[in-house]
Structure 1
């Protein structure tokens, strides 16, 4: 005698087929937005304090060893400094430059 389940619910309906939309509450969305905002603010603050990172090409050394012999040459990307400007610092500099170019009564362009 074959056994059948007591209910006729398909397995796709009970285990999720990936088509059902997930419903998020406003509190969950606000919490995620707050966490993302705090992380971005912390990153920009760290970029303001430490604007440089290691050059990715030379790994912060600033030079490459010649394939033949013991000669070294300077890294072309960082000009031998071993440093690069971090992305967050570029964002901060862009914001400051754009804000300073705005027209207001205390602008340097108005005083000429």
Structure 2
């Protein structure tokens, strides 16, 4: 069965553009993890304090230990890979 002109497309260009876009996004996220390794804690919204369930009391956020900041997941992965590399090269 012959293909119609409307359905015959060149997928190589679309695949190349998708690969380029994913590469740019990955590199920009890695650059952000390197330049800005910390983000605001999601539980306390960066304040370092958590409101008590009853009353108006505040306590230190247990997730961020009261700093209001947490490592980005990408930075955590970079740190892990760096420690693996240093353990391997220090033998």
| Ranges in structure 2 where 5+ consecutive residues have no aligned partner | 1-7
Residues of 2 paired with 1:85 and 1:24: CA distance?
A: 42
Paired residues, number: 84
Aligned equivalent of 2:41:
55
Note the aligned Cα RMSD (angstroms): 2.0
Q: Comparing both chains, which one has the higher relative contact order based on Cα–Cα distances under 8 Å and sequence gaps of 6 or more? A: 2
Q: Could you report, residue by residue, the CA deviation over 1:55-108 in whole angstroms, capped at 9, with x for unpaired residues? A: 011010001234324x32100111100011101101211221222223xxxx32
TM-score with structure 2 setting the length: 0.78
Pick from 65, 68, 85: which aligns with 1:79? Answer: 65
TM-score with structure 1 setting the length: 0.65
Higher helix share: 2
Partner SS state of residue 63, structure 2: coil
| Ranges in structure 1 where 5+ consecutive residues have no aligned partner | 1-21
Q: Note if 1:95 corresponds to 2:81.
A: yes
Instruction: List, as ranges, runs of 4+ consecutive aligned residues in structure 1 with deviation greater than 3 Å.
Output: none
Partner SS state of residue 78, structure 2: helix
Larger radius of gyration: 1
Partner SS state of residue 66, structure 2: coil
